[in-house]
Chain A
């Protein structure tokens, strides 16, 4: 039963093939077996899960027909869950139990889904390998010596190794799409403003967005039906109607125009390029038309991102001072010592680096050359995309430059790590929606294809993704359960 899609689970529960409790127990059992090796979860909420699963059975018996009622889900440990620890993968929040839940978390509760646990991540979502977690790295189930990607590595691995049928992630520069690509899962980063950020612990507020990580595009559509929507508690949340994301999944792609940005293929390894070209021809067979496009300023994405994201992060993370919650340094000799030691002891190296870079680019004398300049280039990047979408329906390219790299390979070299998000970052800068879906394998390692659509066109992304998954079965491949 653990291999079923959400829709299949929903039907099976409705048909009483098994109970919510049995289903939940099956996933909890898988977590017990696989998590000690993979380290995808920071917290497992077993008691709570069993309790809510039984309650869901009762509700179903009474005739409640919510489609996702009684189906388990796992949340990235950066989404606040009232009463359950939210660590953000950091020592500084090792004991933080939020007195409120994120809007996203609440919406899944209201949909009747069962929380299995909180998934591992790079500290405060800063990283592309999941090695920056205070709770240890997550292993890629396709190759235990390799990273699962990050920062939503725990969620991606939990889905890939079937410890959970679906999970939430957050994406600031590729943190949903990159781990999805490296673990053979489907990851959707919605349009900025489509999903509430309330209760999502901020890394870079103008870039962060939560989204689903699932086995299929159809599952992603089902989760989006729950997650998406206006929230008055988030001033950047957009108040426009939410479509039924499953509605257009089966729409034909004939005549649709796919934009291929040359820049995404310029330095791409031939083995990767081969996989992406295979995806393109599959779409062409479905009647889609391909068109080369230019995104001239996208080459600036990574440096622009590493000005803007650290700048926002340096300010967002100032609240971790050991005064009101979280870690506090022992026996501070004065206030300054309390601050500097709490933060030095509580944050890991990558977070500290980004706080310092962010502080630097905002500081007096550097603001114009770095922060303001980056904001202007960000505008250019958005304009590039806007221009492209005048003539294409979707933009397609690789999600990552390579398949999963080895643990330890890039951790000493921040810039090489940053460049692993080279294809995903521009999307966050522009605020666009994008999806990564399985696109086959290079050797034993999965790779992903990324599709980007215009603002609020998540339904189009899901349509494209679903159509591809109708003619291929890459997304159905599962890693072997070795130890």
Chain B
């Protein structure tokens, strides 16, 4: 993994990485990627991927309203709210 790749990944993950930290990340992430590449040698022809340990199917719920207005409670722990809205720096429309 090179610096550009670390930057691309940190951008996708929205994690600020300073120029100073780049070399450490590059080394550590490269080592980990190298480590996990061992799986390439497993023989997986004809094997279906496993996403869940549970083999049953998805359960569905009835279409009922079970949740009411809890804005006050939920927003009491929010960093920045106004008039019931969560505030963020201006979003470019």
A340 to B16, Cβ gap below 8 A?
yes
Identify the interface centre among B13, B40, B77, B86: most chain A CB within 10 Å of its CB: B13
B15 to A340, Cβ gap below 8 A?
yes
Tell yes or no: A377 within 8 A of B by CB: yes
A297 to B42, Cβ gap below 8 A?
yes
Identify the interface centre among B32, B35, B53, B80: most chain A CB within 10 Å of its CB: B53
**CB-CB contacts of B16-58 with A at 8 A, as 1s and 0s?**
1100000001001101110111111010100111111110101
How many chain B residues touch A (CB < 8 A): the figure is: 49
Q: Could you say which residues of chain A place their CB within 8 Å of the CB of B90?
A: 334-335
A238 to B54, Cβ gap below 8 A?
yes
Assembly CA distance A99 to B69 (angstroms): 13
**CB-CB contacts of A336-354 with B at 8 A, as 1s and 0s?**
1111110110010000110
Tell yes or no: A382 within 8 A of B by CB: yes
Q: Could you say which residues of chain A place their CB within 8 Å of the CB of B88?
A: 323, 335, 338
Q: Could you say which residues of chain B place their CB within 8 Å of the CB of A235?
A: 58-59
**Interchain CB contact (< 8 A) of B42 among A300, A314, A339, A352:** A300
A325 to B44, Cβ gap below 8 A?
no
**CB-CB contacts of A27-48 with B at 8 A, as 1s and 0s?**
0000000000000000000000
B12 to A415, Cβ gap below 8 A?
no
B32 to A306, Cβ gap below 8 A?
yes
**Interchain CB contact (< 8 A) of B32 among A96, A343, A415:** A415
Q: Could you say which residues of chain B place their CB within 8 Å of the CB of A356?
A: 6, 9-10, 13, 15, 25, 29
B89 to A306, Cβ gap below 8 A?
no
Tell yes or no: B70 within 8 A of A by CB: yes
Assembly CA distance A311 to B32 (angstroms): 13
B53 to A193, Cβ gap below 8 A?
yes
Assembly CA distance A374 to B42 (angstroms): 9
Assembly CA distance A378 to B38 (angstroms): 13
**Interchain CB contact (< 8 A) of A357 among B32, B51, B78, B86:** B32
- Contact surface of A with B, Cβ cutoff 8 Å: 95-97, 99, 192-193, 206-207, 232, 235-236, 238-239, 297, 300, 302-304, 306-307, 314, 318, 321-326, 328, 332-341, 343-344, 347, 352-353, 355-357, 359-361, 363, 369-370, 372-380, 382, 414-415, 418, 429-431
B6 to A333, Cβ gap below 8 A?
no
Tell yes or no: B79 within 8 A of A by CB: yes
B35 to A306, Cβ gap below 8 A?
yes
**Interchain CB contact (< 8 A) of B37 among A303, A318, A357:** A303
Q: Could you say which residues of chain A place their CB within 8 Å of the CB of B28?
A: 353, 414
A300 to B38, Cβ gap below 8 A?
yes
A415 to B33, Cβ gap below 8 A?
no
What are 13 sample pairs from A and B whose C-beta atoms fall under 8 A apart? A207-B53, A239-B59, A324-B86, A334-B89, A334-B90, A335-B88, A343-B14, A353-B32, A374-B39, A377-B42, A379-B48, A379-B49, A431-B54
B29 to A430, Cβ gap below 8 A?
no
Chain B minimum-CB-distance residue to A372: B49
**CB-CB contacts of B55-67 with A at 8 A, as 1s and 0s?**
0101101000000
- List 16 other contacts, CB 8 Å, given A355-B15, A356-B15, A415-B35: A232-B59, A236-B52, A300-B38, A302-B35, A304-B39, A322-B79, A323-B78, A344-B15, A353-B32, A355-B13, A359-B12, A359-B13, A375-B50, A378-B49, A379-B44, A382-B53
Q: Could you say which residues of chain B place their CB within 8 Å of the CB of A307?
A: 36, 39
Q: Could you say which residues of chain A place their CB within 8 Å of the CB of B58?
A: 235
